[in-house]
Amino acid sequence: MGFRFYDTLVNEVRPFTPREEGVVRMYNCGPTVYDSQHIGNYRAATFADVLRRSLDLAGYEVHQVMNLTDVGHLTLDDIESGEDKMELAARREGRTAWEIAQAYIDEYMLVVEKMNWRRPLAYPRATDHVAEMIEITEALVASGHAYVTDAGNVYFSVASFPEYGKLSGNTVEALEAGSRVDVLDEKQHPADFALWKRDAEHQMQWDSPWGEGFPGWHIECSAMSRKYLGDELDIHTGGEDNVFPHHECEIAQSESFTGKTFVRHWMHTRHLQVDGGKMAKSDGTFITYEQVEARGHSMRALRYLLLSAHYRMPLNFTWDALAGAESVVDGLDATIRTLTSDAALAADPAVAERCAAVEAGFLAALQDDLNVSAALAHVHDLRGFVNKHGPFATADADRVRAAFAYVDELLGLDLLTQDSGADGDDAAEIDALVQERIDARASKNWARADEIRDELTGRGITVEDTPDGARWYR
């Protein structure tokens, strides 16, 4: 069975078939780097990561690209009052737009590490691809899909693309009627959007056939996806807000330019809510990894929380929910940490059988439009099975670890490589204390035993007594 994904274009779940067998070309709308990313942005990136990892797990060769938007992100339809996000941030922070972009890209890459998102083939920056954008814009002007105004701005003409609106369900007529923005005289239709802008105040300027200026926002994705993945993409993802106008405009540009179907499968994720309400970059109420860590939570827990809900369902972030996710991750760690094997035992056929069933069920759930919640039920089944099983034959223990490694290809929690802290500088000292406690317990000196355990606890070390002796971890 192959994958089935919801396709925003047709509003239903349908079979996914890439253009080239075994290869998936996927473009993810990435961050705009004029500010820190918040956990809402993390959800979108985690969705892209889950999708990518699911395809990896199923054996596809995934050609993934995620853009970094570092220019042109302004209110395209209103040049008079519109403000470029980069320019605004530059003024706010007293730095140049270029410095702003680099600083937030650096921070984003830090989050990439923390959230354990697999790296795409490329993270192209818009400012590095202005030439490609100009190339498409020129062609669109030449073919009559775009026009140049007296002011030197270039707009795409939605009237030239009859299918405009097919992704979002908007119609050109409805957009015109519902327009809340004053129509610019220079635009032929209120829904026309900018491909190139001239603004002497703008810090970022490039030469173009229409004079110095900068590119519109939408054109970057058409240009960069084409450069790295070709004219026809298998999957294009983004947040639900990207459906309109961004992706609608990309379709118009790209398909007018190439004459081919731009994207075979459009996938969008719902926004994250916080305490039941909206969370947006423009609100100033956003939560970042810094708050999560300051509250003593791990990024693994945040990752688990964000991936545990279906991407098309609302997910309400609460600190309670994050604490719950922390418990789940701790539980998985505990199961793997306490997994024991005994070379004298004979293999139990039920182990390999159960592991295979878990893996198969896990993948099948993912193939069903990324039903991660259902997939997680299989992980918990494996966990319960292992906890109840007792010591494993060596080969069986390896099989269990392989099964956890399999699901971790998706979960990305580094389940098998958690550091127990046993190789720390003070490990020998801790071993000695643990041994002293063992002796104390043997002589029923509970006071001393508890004293030692309290001291270790204070140092962030947990001691567990088991039938096989005591063990500790940080």
Partner RNA sequence: GGCGGCAUGGCCAAGUGGUAAGGCAACGGAUUGCAAAUCCGUGAUCCCCGGUUCGAAUCCGGGUGCCGCCUCCA
Separation of alpha carbons 98 and 100, rounded Å: 5
Q: Should residue 300 be labelled a site residue for RNA when binding is judged by CB under 7 A?
A: no
Q: Which of residues 435-474 bind RNA (CB under 7 A)?
A: 441, 446, 449-450, 453, 462-466
Q: Should residue 189 be labelled a site residue for RNA when binding is judged by CB under 7 A?
A: no
Of 118, 44, 7, the closest CA to residue 309 belongs to 44
Separation of alpha carbons 86 and 97, rounded Å: 6
Which of 7, 26, 41, 297 is in the footprint of RNA by CB under 7 A?
41
Q: Should residue 315 be labelled a site residue for RNA when binding is judged by CB under 7 A?
A: yes
Task: Output b/e per residue, 67-95; b: 16+ Cβ within 10 A.
Answer: bbbbbbbbebbebeeeebbbbbbbeeeee
Closest separation in Å from C-beta 356 to RNA: 19
Per-residue DSSP letters for 211-278?
-SBEE-STHHHHHHHHHHH-S-EEEEEEEGGGIIIIIHHHHHHHHHHHSS--EEEEEEEPPEEETTEE
Nearer to RNA, 40 or 412 (CB): 40
Which of 57, 299, 377, 427 is in the footprint of RNA by CB under 7 A?
377
Q: Which residues contact 49 (CB under 8 A, 6 or more apart)?
A: 115, 116, 117, 118, 307, 412
Q: In the Cβ-directed half-sphere of 294, how many Cα atoms lie within 13 Å?
A: 5
Which pair of tokens denotes residue 437? 């406690």
Which of 25, 53, 63, 85 is in the footprint of RNA by CB under 7 A?
85
Closest separation in Å from C-beta 298 to RNA: 14
Task: Output b/e per residue, 124-148; b: 16+ Cβ within 10 A.
Answer: bbbbebbebbbebbbebbeeebbbb
Q: Should residue 166 be labelled a site residue for RNA when binding is judged by CB under 7 A?
A: no
CB 5 within 8 A of CB 265: yes
Q: Which of residues 98-157 bind RNA (CB under 7 A)?
A: none
- Taking residues 334 to 373 in sequence order and writing x for each that binds RNA by CB under 7 A, - otherwise, the string is xx--x-----------------------------x--x-x
Closest separation in Å from C-beta 251 to RNA: 15
Which of 9, 44, 89, 430 is in the footprint of RNA by CB under 7 A?
44
Residues belonging to the chain: 474
Which of 144, 211, 314, 424 is in the footprint of RNA by CB under 7 A?
314
Which of 25, 189, 265, 271 is in the footprint of RNA by CB under 7 A?
271
Q: Should residue 276 be labelled a site residue for RNA when binding is judged by CB under 7 A?
A: yes
AA identity, residue 41: N
Q: Should residue 310 be labelled a site residue for RNA when binding is judged by CB under 7 A?
A: yes
Separation of alpha carbons 464 and 459, rounded Å: 15
Closest separation in Å from C-beta 314 to RNA: 5
Q: Which of residues 386-425 bind RNA (CB under 7 A)?
A: 387-388
Nearer to RNA, 2 or 22 (CB): 2
Q: Should residue 67 be labelled a site residue for RNA when binding is judged by CB under 7 A?
A: no
Q: Among the candidate windows 93-101, 104-112, 195-203, 325-333, which touches RNA by CB under 7 A?
A: 325-333
Which of 1, 80, 180, 201 is in the footprint of RNA by CB under 7 A?
180
Closest separation in Å from C-beta 166 to RNA: 13
Of 244, 380, 363, 251, the closest CA to residue 4 belongs to 363
Q: Which of residues 198-257 bind RNA (CB under 7 A)?
A: 217, 238-246
Angle between helices 219-229 and 130-142 (to 10 degrees): 110
CB 224 within 8 A of CB 217: no
The count of chain residues that interact with RNA, using the rule CB under 7 A, is: 91
Closest separation in Å from C-beta 199 to RNA: 15
